[in-house]
Amino acid sequence: MRTTPTPAPSTRAAQPPKRAHPLVNRDYALLWSGQAVSALGDATFATTLILWVTTILARDQPWAPLAVGGVLAASIAPEFVVAPLGGVFADRLDRRRAMLAMDAARTLLIAALVPAAGLVSLPFASGGSLPLGWRLGAIYAVVFLASACGQLFNPALFALMAGIVAEPDRARASGLRQVATSFAAILGPALAAALFFGAGITWALLLNAASFAVSFAAVLAMRAPAAPNSETAEKKEREGVVSDLRAGLRFYFGNRVLVTLLVAGVLTLLGFGTLNTLGIFFVTENLRAAPGFYGILTSAQGVGLIAGAALAAAFAQRIGVARVLGLSLLIWGATILVYARMTSLAPALALMALTGFLLAVAQVAETPLLMHVTPPEFLGRVSSVFVPAIASAELIGIALSGYLASTVLRGFHATLLGLSFGPVDTIFTVVGVCILAAGVYALARLRGIHLARE
């Protein structure tokens, strides 16, 4: 009788399954580590400058608020002046080398602020230090240039991340980055205050310079090659920067998914800016609580941001990032409508934590969707359209909500269907409706968009 030989055991089957890297892969682990340190340095630096100007340089001066505003303006201006061109250069240059150059430049700029701002004795200056006006000018110049470097660095980072992270892992990578950013936003101000009042301004500045040096070392250690561009070198030389910028704008506004993300992002950040601007007034006027409780509400939102980013990193890709984005905006809008009716602190805390959670989930879902529909040669320019646009929306939300609450709706009171409305809760209600509309719009327009899961 013929017998069938027993097959030899499969060597492949005998091998244990490959364990997933906790930070996606080696290159992304390096990138994430460097950016986590850099984000903490940025958050520390921003608070340090405000403390420095208000408590030392402009102490007891009537123009102190204007001096602080100058710091903020110097940090924001490059987002509109430099950012549109940053994406063009990120698509024309070797992205990894561009990131290294920007990190090196920021390290030197922040370190140069120590002597320029009069923190060490200068032999050529009268009394060993520059006049106050020159010191403030040095701060504004360094802040502007460092922020400009960031506008060149960030599109290159976005494009490089798309090259080193496969599509099934992009939601997790985006979530991990959001977790690091949220932790930096919470820890940075406290660390800045401790360094400023404990060790002095010099050490606080050098810490931020060192954070960029750490980011430089992390990017340098990466083995990832530069992301290939489909455009040839001859074509790049023949076409100018303006032509590249126009091509990027045509591509962006001709893509249904990208336009949908832009509209949803603008509506979302308009609401976020409004919530942050009027939050303190909601605490005192609607919740009838002491102003100090505003800090507790902000902390609750920070906890929600971290939890949302972590959970979205783990599950967004499995559920579907397009669906996750639309549903998170839909639920967030409904949450704000309920939050606007709050009159006691405890439920308001829970709802504020939920708003942070949902905002983080939406932000985590945006990044893989942007990468999914963008060819490698347009990644930098797409980032340079999307990021400044939503930053502008947040600024408009801040300015518009402050204006409405101070002028048009000042003293406003009305009753509708048995519900009483005042200035702040009326604005919050409109914000909730706008974000609800953004969720419905995203769900409808992104239907059928599916990313790879394996």
- pLDDT value, residue 119: 61
- pLDDT value, residue 118: 59
Write down the residue that tokens 């009753």 correspond to.
415
CA distance 268 to 358: 11
Closest CA to 56 of 104, 118, 103, 143: 118
- pLDDT value, residue 47: 85
- pLDDT value, residue 14: 46
- pLDDT value, residue 252: 94
Closest CA to 219 of 81, 95, 329: 95
- pLDDT value, residue 290: 85
* Average pLDDT for runs of 10 along the chain of length 454: 43 50 87 93 87 83 82 84 84 89 94 72 57 83 92 91 90 90 87 85 87 95 64 53 87 94 92 84 87 82 90 85 93 94 90 92 92 91 89 86 84 76 89 94 90 64
CA dihedral angle for residue 392, residue 393, residue 394, residue 397, rounded to 10 degrees: 120
User: 337: which 2 tokens?
Assistant: 């409508």
- pLDDT value, residue 100: 94
Sequence-separated (6 or more) residues with CB below 8 Å from residue 306? 179, 182, 183, 186, 360
Judging by beta carbons within 10 Å of its beta carbon (0-12, 13-18, 19+), is residue 378 exposed, middle or buried? buried
- pLDDT value, residue 61: 81
DSSP for residue 376: G
- pLDDT value, residue 126: 56
Is residue 423 within 8 Å of residue 411, measured between CB atoms? yes
- pLDDT value, residue 5: 45
Is residue 224 within 8 Å of residue 79, measured between CB atoms? no
CA distance 421 to 366: 34
Write down the residue that tokens 């599950």 correspond to.
315
Write down the residue that tokens 């102003």 correspond to.
291
CA distance 378 to 248: 6
CA distance 208 to 204: 7
Positive or negative torsion for Cα 237, 241, 247, 252:
positive
CA distance 408 to 405: 7
Instruction: Locate all alpha helices (DSSP H) within 373-422, ordered by sequence.
Output: 379-406
CA distance 443 to 264: 10
Strands 414-416 and 419-421: antiparallel
Is residue 310 within 8 Å of residue 367, measured between CB atoms? no
Which CATH number describes the domain made up of 26-227?
1.20.1250.20
Please list the residue range(s) of the chain that carry CATH number 1.20.1250.20.
26-227, 247-445
In terms of CATH architecture, what is 247-445? Up-down Bundle (1.20)
